[in-house]
């Protein structure tokens, strides 16, 4: 059982900063921040969950069944991540590429302490066993305001797992698959990494978030492993019997010149290649949601709308469905995972070809971070525009990718990857 208190905040911005700093003492942390984006679907402006009471760490084998059992047994808030490699339990696939990060395939925990921020109000939910800590914790959080962070970051030397010539060779193979009709579209990704590197995870996250200010920012800590995410994309959300998924496909860079920036946005909205990419994934998402939807309830609420973020313009669609009350929330995720925007069409063939051509195990990248509420509602993002860090191995990684179709220009695809990589590189190098 949980004890709940509501507190009014004088300054939600400074409270959020102090709260995140205070959270660093715990081994299990999930911080989700909307950065005040006005999203009609969002439940909270920010959420912090810390200090595991119970937890599940597992590999991909029967992962969704184990998660289903854990979620049902816990019957409480649980926070964590799903890696891309859970595809191997959903389908007969494998992940044999190099993995320098070594994150568990699935990780969730039941927090002892939970903060739900909306506007200038914070709802604090503590398990009864730690309910007496609320006032002392609030005092500790308030008193952090005068503290300054000490950066531990050394010189970061970022390397490419796939160099430019090899990238073009692999893209030629991907295009050959498309020309043969094996697939119509696939998301091809490449890793940037640094070995023997020490970073301050919190300060790196702050830099990344300040650069991008995305609607689905995440700071996740699982002991010595960190996810620092500036994700602009929602994977899937459940509210009652309503499900939405919001795939992103279609990217254009921003310009400091207003006229040029508007032109870039307009061109993206009209770009036939980008629209076809998006529409193919929308069809895939519609199919994925139909597996658990009430018949006739799947619909496209928004098609190919362009949204502007600090680094890029993005083309986003919204697909919705209704599910029966008795449908288990984990089954909804299992039947749509991995998300269409990070796989391709047809989905299984695309994932198989991706595995052959990519050089790195994706792991948490292109997976998802989020939560289940006690009533079975959930909300999960897509882990893109993200830095992953294994502090024990001193290994830093970020990956970027793009949708490859018959109309893809390899040079433009490569340049798009560099555009997407800019924010993570800047957060690490500066």
CB atoms within 10 A of CB 138: 18
Residue for token digits 């030629």?
Answer: 172
Q: Compute how many other C-beta atoms are within 10 angstroms of the C-beta atom of residue 89.
A: 21
Q: Across-strand partners of 75? A: none
Q: What is the 3-state secondary structure (H, E, C) of 94-150?
A: CCCCECCCCCCCEEEEEEEEEEEEECCEEEEEEEHHHHHHHHHHHHHHHHHHHCCCC
Collapse the DSSP code of 4 into the 3-class scheme (helix H, G, I; strand E, B; otherwise coil) and give the result. Answer: strand
Which residue out of 233, 274, 277, 358 is catalytically annotated? 233
Report residue 5 as tokens. 């208190």
Residue 132 makes CB contacts below 8 A (sequence gap 6+) with: none
Residue with tokens 């308030």: 142
Q: Is 123 a catalytic residue?
A: no
Give the span between the Cα atoms of 70 and 56, in whole angstroms.
7
Give catalytic status of residue 233 as yes or no: yes
Catalytic residue among 16, 207, 221, 249: 249
Residues whose CB is less than 8 angstroms from the CB of residue 330 and which lie 6 or more positions away in sequence, other chains included? 64, 67, 68, 71
Give CA–CA dist 295/292, Å, rounded: 9
Task: Supply the DSSP symbol for 48.
Answer: E
DSSP three-state, residue 329: helix
Burial label, 427 (beta-carbon count in 10 A; 0-12, 13-18, 19+): buried
Q: To which residue do tokens 């911005």 refer?
A: 13
Residues marked as catalytic:
233, 249
């Amino acid at each position: 059982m949980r004890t709940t208190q509501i507190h009014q905040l004088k300054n939600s911005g400074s409270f959020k900063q102090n709260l995140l700093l205070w959270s660093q003492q715990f081994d299990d942390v999930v911080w989700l921040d909307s950065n005040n984006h006005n999203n009609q679907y969002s439940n909270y402006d920010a959420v912090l969950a810390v200090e595991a009471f119970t937890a599940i760490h597992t590999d991909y084998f029967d992962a969704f069944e184990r998660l289903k059992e854990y979620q049902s047994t816990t019957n409480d808030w649980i926070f964590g991540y799903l890696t891309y490699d859970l595809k191997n339990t959903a389908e007969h696939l494998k992940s044999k590429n190099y993995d320098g990060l070594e994150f568990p395939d699935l990780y969730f925990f039941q927090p002892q302490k939970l903060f739900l921020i909306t506007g200038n109000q914070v709802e604090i939910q503590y398990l009864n066993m730690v309910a007496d800590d609320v006032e002392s914790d609030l005092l500790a959080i308030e008193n952090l305001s005068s503290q300054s962070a000490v950066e531990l970051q050394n010189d970061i030397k970022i390397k490419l797992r796939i160099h430019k010539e090899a990238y073009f060779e692999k893209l030629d193979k991907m295009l050959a698959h498309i020309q043969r009709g094996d697939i119509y579209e696939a998301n091809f990704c490449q890793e940037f990494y640094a070995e023997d590197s020490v970073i301050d995870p919190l300060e790196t996250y702050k830099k990344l978030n300040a650069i991008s200010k995305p609607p689905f920012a995440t700071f996740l800590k699982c002991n010595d492993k960190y996810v620092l995410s500036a994700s602009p994309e929602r994977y899937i959300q459940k509210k009652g019997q309503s499900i939405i998924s919001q795939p992103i496909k279609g990217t254009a860079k921003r310009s400091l010149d207003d006229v040029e920036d508007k032109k870039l946005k307009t061109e993206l909205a009209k770009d036939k290649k980008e629209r076809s990419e998006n529409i193919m994934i929308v069809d895939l998402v519609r199919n994925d949601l139909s597996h658990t939807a009430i018949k006739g309830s799947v619909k496209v609420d928004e098609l190919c709308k362009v949204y502007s973020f600090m680094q890029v313009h993005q083309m986003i669609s919204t697909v919705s469905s209704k599910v029966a009350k008795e449908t288990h929330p984990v089954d909804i995720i299992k039947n749509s995972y991995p998300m269409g925007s990070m796989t391709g069409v047809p989905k299984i063939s695309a994932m198989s070809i991706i595995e052959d051509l990519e050089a790195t195990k994706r792991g948490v990248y292109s997976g998802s971070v989020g939560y289940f509420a006690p009533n079975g509602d959930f909300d999960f993002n897509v882990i893109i525009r993200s830095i992953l860090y294994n502090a024990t191995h001193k290994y830093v990684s970020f990956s970027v990718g793009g949708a490859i179709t018959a109309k893809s220009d390899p040079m433009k695809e490569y340049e798009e990857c560099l555009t997407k990589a800019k924010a993570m590189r800047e957060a690490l190098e500066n």
